């Protein structure tokens, strides 16, 4: 394997150093970051196509119900701290 010397700014070096695992080389950090950026977000597109519509509808409803319940709890907490806000 050949090596190349590159120049990078000090701030970039410090960022890479923070991202680096103790047992990882800088080349491995850069390789990991490049691999992560190459992931295709559409790889999993359509994975739920075989799931029954009712299951997906129930799933969506549970998410909406949870968001609504969270909103009620948040409003109650804020009202308890700050009183009615209009």
Tens of pLDDT, residue by residue over 11-69, are: 999 999 999 999 999 999 999 999 888 888 787 788 888 889 999 999 999 999 999 99
Tracing tokens 């120049």 back to the chain, one arrives at 7
Q: How much is the pTM?
A: 0.45
Listed by start position, the domains of the chain span 8-39, 47-86
User: Which residues lie closer than 8 Å to 19 by C-beta, 6 or more apart?
Assistant: 29, 33
Which of 29, 22, 26, 35 minimizes the C-alpha distance to 3?
Answer: 26
How far apart CA 18 and CA 83 sit, in angstroms, is: 44
């Amino acid at each position: 394997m050949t090596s190349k010397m590159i120049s990078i700014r000090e701030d970039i070096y410090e960022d890479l150093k923070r991202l680096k695992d103790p047992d990882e080389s800088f080349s491995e950090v850069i390789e990991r970051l490049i691999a992560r950026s190459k992931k295709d977000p559409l790889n999993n597109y359509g994975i739920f196509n075989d799931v029954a519509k009712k299951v997906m509808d129930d799933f969506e409803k549970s998410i909406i119900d949870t968001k609504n319940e969270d909103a009620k709890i948040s409003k109650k907490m804020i009202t308890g701290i700050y009183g009615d806000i209009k």
